[in-house]
Amino acid sequence: MNDLHDLIRRLPKAELHLHLEGSLEPEMIFDLARRNNIDIPYASVEDIRAAYDFSNLQDFLDLYYIGMNVLQTEDDLYDLTMAYLRRSNADNVRHVEVFIDPQGHTGRGIAFETVMNGITRAMAEGEKEFGITSKLIMCFLRHLSEAEAFETLEQAKPFLHQIEGVGLASSELGHPPSKFQRVFAAAADLGLKRVAHAGEEGPPDYVHEALDLLKIDRLDHGNRALEDAALVDRLVAEQMTLTVCPLSNLRLCVVDNLESHPLKRMLDHGLRATVNTDDPAYFGGYMNDNYIRTADALGLTREDVITLAKNSFRGSFLPQADIDRHLAEIDAVASA
């Protein structure tokens, strides 16, 4: 038995970067297509998996938006969310902060309310059944316009008690954070937290914009921040959490191989890095797979792994008392 793998499996962890629609497994795409009488351009589950061969973010996004077409009813969103929470529970994930893409649904005629009701019903059920706590972050799709983002923020107003924050997702290159400065300011005025994808494919400048213009509370990916030494110093000084997604980076060719992944360098710089799945149904692994494969490829130590697990709670939007309780549980597991 590998002691480090065993420790990874036993450690309580939080997931801070997960697109709910990216946890839609091929089997569920097939089941929901049948249930909802939807035509999909695949003959079999194997056919779907074979199509998941990406050269970049856009290759993936094209199939991600096709996949989510099978999500039609409140029950579909409920089933999707429950499946993710059940799978995360199996990996000892104790808390999740889940991204949703409302525009991916409202843009094809599914009501905002339908999406919210299915997901929040599952979140309550997941807490009861598995003890997993969860929060929701709604992402604006950056390939769409500022006006459409404002429209989405408007639709969210009746549900603000169920939404922790806003994020920025989809095609990064050509859609800098500055495009959404005003809508992020409006979200801040509503009391919402702010996070943004930056530095996945985009340059360090996009990370600067996310910090300065969007006033983010957390940085999603951030890999390319390492190209800018002053930016790294700033992220360390501000104790900014980076939600890093190793298997996603591998499958979207952000890195050539896991051995060259920057996670270990991030930790060595003192950055508050975390490990996350991004779109596990598309990228070949849930939480423990991400930890274990990265730990093996980079030679992470026991201390590195414990730091990553602790960072996931430190970087969460949980109240400090809950964070402290999770950190104490990590210490207890690590010393058992």
| DSSP conformational letter for 317 | S
When asked if residue 201 is in the footprint of Zn ion (CB under 5 A), the reply is no
Query: Which stretch, 28-36, 172-180, 208-216, 275-283, contacts Zn ion (CB under 5 A)?
Result: 275-283
114, 134, 155, 248: which one binds ligand HPA (CB under 6 A): 248
Which entry of ligand HPA, Zn ion, none binds 91, CB below 5 to 8 A by partner kind?
A: none
If you ran DSSP here, which 8-state letter would residue 321 be given?
Answer: H
Binding part of the chain for Zn ion, among 87-95, 127-135, 261-269, 274-282 by CB under 5 A, reads 274-282
Distances in whole angstroms, Cα of residue 29 to Cα of each of 8, 85, 111:
30, 17, 20
CB of 67 to ligand HPA, least distance (A): 11
Q: Pick from 74, 76, 200, 304: which binds ligand HPA (CB under 6 A)?
A: 200
Ordered strands of the 241-244 beta sheet: 13-19, 93-100, 133-141, 165-169, 193-198, 218-221, 241-244, 272-275
Which residues, including other chains, have CB under 8 Å from residue 155's CB and lie 6 or more apart? 102, 106, 112
- Residue 313 contact among Zn ion, ligand HPA, none, beta carbon within 5 to 8 Å by kind: none
Site string for ligand HPA, 164-193 (x = CB under 6 A): -----xx-----------------------
How far is residue 131's CA from residue 181's CA, in Å, rounded to a whole number? 36
Minimum CB distance to ligand HPA smaller for 11 or for 245: 245
Question: What is the spatial distance between Cα 246 and Cα 291, in angstroms, rounded to a whole number?
Answer: 8
Q: Which of ligand HPA, Zn ion, none interacts with 164 (beta carbon under 5 to 8 A by kind)? A: none
25, 74, 164, 278: which one binds Zn ion (CB under 5 A): 278
Decide if 172 is catalytic.
no
CA separation for the pair 272, 164 (Å, rounded): 21
Q: Is 276 in the site for ligand HPA (CB under 6 A)?
A: no
Q: What is the largest CA-CA distance in the chain?
A: 55
From the list Zn ion, ligand HPA, none, which binds 74 (C-beta under 5 to 8 Å, kind-based)? none
110's contact among Zn ion, ligand HPA, none, with CB below 5 to 8 A by partner kind, is none
Q: How far is the CB of 242 from ligand HPA (least distance, A)?
A: 14
Number of residues that bind ligand HPA (CB under 6 A): 11
Q: According to CB under 6 A, which one of 8, 29, 57, 149 is a site residue for ligand HPA?
A: 57
- Give start and end residues of each alpha helix (H) in the chain: 3-10, 26-36, 45-51, 57-67, 74-90, 102-106, 112-130, 146-156, 181-189, 204-212, 229-237, 246-251, 263-269, 280-283, 287-298, 302-314, 320-334
Any contact of residue 97 with ligand HPA (CB under 6 A)? no
Closer by beta carbon to Zn ion, 25 or else 278: 278
Using CB under 6 A, pick the residue from 197, 218, 261, 310 that binds ligand HPA. 197
Instruction: Verify binding: residue 68, ligand HPA, rule CB under 6 A.
Output: no
Determine the Cα angle at 19 with ends 119 and 123, to 5°: 25
Q: CA 105 to CA 298: how far, in whole Å? A: 38
Instruction: Supply 152's token pair.
Output: 């989405």
Distance CA 68, CA 157 (A): 24
The residue from 21, 97, 164, 200 that is catalytic is 200
Provide the annotated active-site residues.
200
Query: Interface with ligand HPA by CB under 6 A: which residues?
Result: 19, 22, 57, 64, 169-170, 197, 200, 248, 278-279
